[in-house]
Amino acid sequence: MKNFFRILFLITLFVGFQYNSNAAEKIEYLKTDWSFKGLFGKFDRASLQRGYQVYTEVCSSCHSMKYLSYRNLAEKGGPEFTEVQAKAIAASFEVTDGPNADGDMFTRPGKLSDKFVMPYENTKAAQAANGGAYPPDMSVLVKARGGGVDYIYSLLQGYEDPPSGVTLDDGVYYNKFMYGNKIKMANQLSDGLVEYGDGTNSTVEQMSKDVTTFLMWAAEPHLESRHRMGFKAIVYLIILTILVYFSMKKIWSGIKTEV
Amino acid sequence: MSDHEYTPKSNFGKWFNDRLPLLTLANHLTDYPTPKNLNYWWTFGGILTFCLITQIVTGLVLAMHYIAHADMAFDSVEHIMRDVNYGWLIRYIHANGASMFFLAVYIHIFRSLFYGSYKAPREIIWIIGIIIYLLMMAAAFMGYVLPWGQMSFWGATVITNLFSAIPFVGEGIVTWLWGGYSVDNPTLTRFFTLHYLIPFLILGLVVLHIWALHVPGNNNPVGIDVKKPSKDTVPFHPYIVIKDGFALLMFMIVFAFFVFYSPNILGHADNYIEADPLVTPAHIVPEWYLLPFYAILRSVPDKLLGVVAMLSAIFILAALPWLDTSKIRSAVFRPLYRQFYWILVADVLILGYVGAMPAEGLYLLIARVATAYYFLHFLVVLPLLGYKEKTLPIPLSITEPVLGGSPNLATAKNDERLNK
Amino acid sequence: MSEKKTNRRDFLFTATYAVGAVGVGAVVWPMIDQMNPDASVKALASTEVDVSSLNPGKTITVLWRGKPVFIRRRTQEEIAEAKSVKLEDLKDPQKDEDRAKDPEWLVMLGVCTHLGCVPLDQKGDYNGWFCPCHGSHYDTSGRIRKGPAPTNMEIPKYEFVNANTIKIG
């Protein structure tokens, strides 16, 4: 058994090492309780629905989410809008389809199977409309940033007046959580900006939390089933390990050596 | 291969076995006499077989959904993650499986270094192992390119550019590797092809690795030759099978934690940004398992010599059976070697650490010292140690220890002394 | 070794094997299920077709779930012919009323029920469709009349969303 502790130690060391090397340039991010962290972490449905509202009303005018479809909004483990609600959401968007029999493109109301409508035709158009800076696609944004949800959550609340001595060009803003502190996105959130259907007070903090939760789900739509399956898998493995351990002891019982 | 003749019991078995001796092979594998004092460090061979099979199976599945095209690769990975049934699970197993594979292979290699498993008559096993390790690195590198994220793209650019260090023909080779003037779609499709091929080469080499192992039989913690079969050995099945199985399950628990609870911790966030040939990420870092070699590469200020140093660091391992002049295999009986062994382990860990840090200031200095020591260990320390070291008395058999108690206990005691 | 001990040992091994087998099964399933239609494929279950420009006696072919769907605006003669056939004469007896809700419109999967080829329009001995692969003849209602195909061409789920639009699926 002794060897096991050594192996375990080595693995801990290795994991710690990995955390450490990622932590090399860590900034202290704002903290909040994320319901989706931990062994049994789940999304807060109401927060996801509010987050979707913030995304559509605020972010979606510049940021695309090209890997999401409207049907995802009704799927299990997500915001879980009813199918009727999701259909209504989809239908509220004009989707370009075609070519039709005459060879022309046409628009029609969105369907569940459609991908989220993009604010710009392509990257170049997005850059042109935003002073050269491309508003990144948000589908996997949480996973594409080192600090993950904490980073996004902090960034949304990190706008400040630049300290003296820092000069900003036109269209550049100061954000204490941005890498290099200079960001081309202006502060988007202000208290009461969005009117939540469920009566939640839409403070900047609340909106940041909701939209970040929504982005986390967008990046990891199967997070809940992953956690559920993970717990089952590990419990199963532990049971089997115990059984195999005793079987091993039995089998080796006639042999004089340490197992 | 087998030490004794085997005759199947049934008539059909005999008929079949005369034509294709599969049953003899199966009998050899089950009866294969294994030293009974193998400790848990020896279970990593089995664990590695599991890793290889896991990677091949999940890889085949992913290849059914993945599209090897610069415009579609990133999208198809997201398609796997979102829409394919259990696609997220299979991809996370494959991605983390690569890390688990390397974790296991490093333990396997360092076990071999500690117990002198590379020494005569096991040099061929060792060299095949080094080739497998090289192919693993190639497969892992190319696999990392396939999602076509920022790290994929720039990792591919940086690594392929290493070849440009070759005098005269370097530039030509790089263009040839790329199939163009930069990493692009032709590069991606050929990397996918090779990434698909290499695991099967590895599988073939694993068969040779095991074949070569079964000729002299396993080394063991005491490092002395074991008569086989004898009271010092046990048949592979069921004794070693169940022990390997137990260790494998422990390993799978760790594996499962990564897959289900931190699937992205071993990767890099930048790889979730689609490849952009116009923007390089702020920090280009290879996957953790390549970091020590990356540190060696960067510690040399000359382009060509840096590449030479990095490759030498791997190839020097192939010469290890001849660089180590000591006749004693196990470090248990080599008090001085044991100290140097742990210094080497620390050295490699330090190289890995500085490999992840920016190549400047103190980090660069540490990387240079650690690189120098790495080569010193193999080129100076090991050859000299064989002549100078005063080794401990070796038991006559693994069941007749001279140090009191069981040999395994002796190992443990010695290690404890080391920790003081 | 006492008998009692043997039993316990057997039980332990049996339990280990059984639990192990369950795990193998649980791992195999995702590897199989991944080949089933994925979520994005399942979502594309319906398609809408504008039929306003389709004249009697004409057929259009549209793609639905990767397969051709024939939409034919039948003439009065065709309808009369389809309705006049006796059920006893059919290999796969089915009334025309059951196949075409609105007799003017025939909407069916354009896939021969023999081995999946696409039959040709207005060919064959029954003025309907003819499959060139192995010679199956279908009538004006898409029912099998002659040849190796076992059943009539399949009618998918469809509805008229409005006078000009058919929604298939």
Q: What is the dihedral of CA B161, B166, B171, B175, to 10 degrees?
A: -60
Mutate to test the interface with C, among B79, B83, B246, B252 (most CBs of C within 10 A): B83
d(CA C138, CA B155): 60
> What residues of B are in contact with residue A258 (Cβ under 8 Å)?
406, 408-409
Q: What is the dihedral of CA A27, A28, A32, A36, to 10 degrees?
A: 40
> What residues of C are in contact with residue B57 (Cβ under 8 Å)?
31
Scanning every residue of chain C, which has its alpha carbon at the shortest distance from the alpha carbon of B89? Answer: C30
Contacting B residues, span 159-218, partner chain A, CB-CB under 8 Å: none
Per-residue pLDDT, A18: 55
CB contact under 8 A, B86 and C34: yes
> What residues of B are in contact with residue C31 (Cβ under 8 Å)?
57, 61, 90
**Residue A80, pLDDT above cutoff 90:** yes
> What residues of A are in contact with residue B269 (Cβ under 8 Å)?
143-146, 148
d(CA A118, CA A115): 9
**Residue C151, pLDDT above cutoff 80:** yes
Average pLDDT (B148-153) is: 96
CB contact under 8 A, B269 and A143: yes
d(CA B393, CA B176): 57
Provide the residue ranges of all domains of chain A, joining segments of one domain with +. 29-67+137-239
> What residues of C are in contact with residue A71 (Cβ under 8 Å)?
39, 43
Average pLDDT (B99-109) is: 97
Per-residue pLDDT, B310: 95
Nearest Cα to B240, choosing from B264, B267, B210, B212? B210
Per-residue pLDDT, A21: 52
CB contact under 8 A, B234 and A255: yes
**Residue C92, pLDDT above cutoff 70:** yes
Segments of chain C assigned E as strands: 47-50, 58-64, 67-73, 105-109, 120-121, 127-131, 136-139, 144-146, 158-162, 165-168
Contact by Cβ (8 Å): B402, B395:
yes
Per-residue pLDDT, A22: 52
Residue C23 Cα, gap to closest chain A Cα (Å): 8
CB contact under 8 A, B260 and A230: yes
Contact by Cβ (8 Å): B139, B195:
yes
CB contact under 8 A, B87 and C33: no
> What residues of A are in contact with residue B270 (Cβ under 8 Å)?
144
Mutate to test the interface with C, among B50, B55, B60, B85 (most CBs of C within 10 A): B85
pLDDT band at residue A131, thresholds of 50, 70 and 90? confident
Nearest Cα to A183, choosing from A192, A191, A194, A174? A174
**Residue B404, pLDDT above cutoff 50:** no
pLDDT band at residue B407, thresholds of 50, 70 and 90? very low
Q: pLDDT for C128-144, tens place per residue?
A: 999 999 999 999 999 99
> What residues of C are in contact with residue B255 (Cβ under 8 Å)?
none
> What residues of A are in contact with residue B47 (Cβ under 8 Å)?
none
Contacting B residues, span 235-264, partner chain A, CB-CB under 8 Å: 238-239, 242-243, 245-246, 249-250, 252-254, 256-257, 259-261, 263-264
Q: Which one of C42, C91, C134, C157 is the catalytic residue?
A: C134
Contacting C residues, span 21-80, partner chain A, CB-CB under 8 Å: 22-23, 26, 39-40, 43-45, 50, 53
Supply the DSSP string of B69-92, one letter for each residue: STTTHHHHHHHHHHTSTTHHHHHH
Residue matched to tokens 């688990």: B100
d(CA B99, CA B136): 11
Give the DSSP letter of residue C123: -
> What residues of B are in contact with residue A3 (Cβ under 8 Å)?
39-41
Residue A257 has its nearest CB partner, among B89, B252, B408, at: B408
Q: Is the peptide bond before B229 cis (omega within 30 degrees of 0)?
A: yes
**Residue C154, pLDDT above cutoff 80:** yes
Residue B283 Cα, gap to closest chain A Cα (Å): 11
Average pLDDT (B96-100) is: 97
Mean pLDDT, rounded, of chain C: 89
pLDDT band at residue A189, thresholds of 50, 70 and 90? very high
Residues forming beta bridges with residue C130, ordered by sequence position: C120, C137
> Is the Cα dihedral B181, B183, B189, B194 positive or negative?
positive
**Residue B402, pLDDT above cutoff 70:** no
CA distances from C69 to A196, C133, C138 (A): 45, 18, 15
Per-residue pLDDT, B413: 42
DSSP-derived 3-state class of residue C48: strand
Question: Tokens representing B33?
Answer: 């006499």
Q: Pick the residue with more confidence: B398 or B94?
A: B94
Q: Pick the residue with more confidence: C111 or B416?
A: C111
**Residue C111, pLDDT above cutoff 80:** yes
Q: Print burial letters for B319-347: b (CB count within 10 Å at least 16), e (below 16).
A: ebbebbebebbbbbbbeebbebbeebeeb
Residue A113 has its nearest CB partner, among C12, C43, C50, at: C43
- Phi first, then psi, for residue A95 (nearest 5°) are -110, 135
Q: pLDDT for A15-70, tens place per residue?
A: 665 555 554 456 789 999 999 999 999 999 999 999 999 999 999 999 999 999 99
C92 reaches A (C-beta below 8 A) = no
Q: Which are the contacts of B147, defined by CB distance < 8 A and separation ≥ 6?
A: B73, B74, B77, B271
CB contact under 8 A, A239 and C19: yes
C39 reaches B (C-beta below 8 A) = yes
Mutate to test the interface with A, among C12, C29, C54 (most CBs of A within 10 A): C12
d(CA B167, CA B150): 29
Q: What count of CB pairs under 8 Å joins B to C? A: 32
Per-residue pLDDT, A240: 97
Q: What count of CB pairs under 8 Å joins A to C? A: 36
A240 reaches C (C-beta below 8 A) = yes
Per-residue pLDDT, B405: 42
Scanning every residue of chain A, which has its alpha carbon at the shortest distance from the alpha carbon of B287? Answer: A18
CB contact under 8 A, B83 and C34: no
Fold type of domain A29-67+137-239: Cytochrome Bc1 Complex; Chain D, domain 2 (1.10.760)
CB contact under 8 A, A255 and B260: no
- Phi first, then psi, for residue B133 (nearest 5°) are -60, -45
CB contact under 8 A, C43 and A250: no
CB contact under 8 A, A236 and C15: no
Report the predicted TM-score, pTM, of the whole model to 2 decimal places.
Answer: 0.90
pLDDT band at residue A5, thresholds of 50, 70 and 90? low
> What residues of B are in contact with residue C33 (Cβ under 8 Å)?
85-86
**Which other chains touch chain A, taking contact as 3+ CB pairs less than 8 Å apart?**
B, C
Please report, rounded to a whole number, the percentage of residues in chain A having pLDDT higher than 70: 89
**Residue B144, pLDDT above cutoff 80:** yes
CB contact under 8 A, A257 and B36: yes
Residue C97 Cα, gap to closest chain B Cα (Å): 40
Q: What count of CB pairs under 8 Å joins A to B? A: 114
> What residues of B are in contact with residue C38 (Cβ under 8 Å)?
79, 83-85, 87
Contacting A residues, span 133-192, partner chain C, CB-CB under 8 Å: none
Residue C134: active-site member:
yes
Residue B170 Cα, gap to closest chain A Cα (Å): 33
Per-residue pLDDT, A259: 52
Per-residue pLDDT, C50: 84
Average pLDDT (C103-114) is: 93
Please report which residue ranges of A120-219 form alpha helices under DSSP H: 123-129, 148-156, 204-219
Q: Which are the contacts of B415, defined by CB distance < 8 A and separation ≥ 6?
A: none
**Residue B207, pLDDT above cutoff 90:** yes
Average pLDDT (A176-183) is: 89
Residue A243 Cα, gap to closest chain C Cα (Å): 6
Contact by Cβ (8 Å): A58, A64:
no
pLDDT band at residue A167, thresholds of 50, 70 and 90? confident
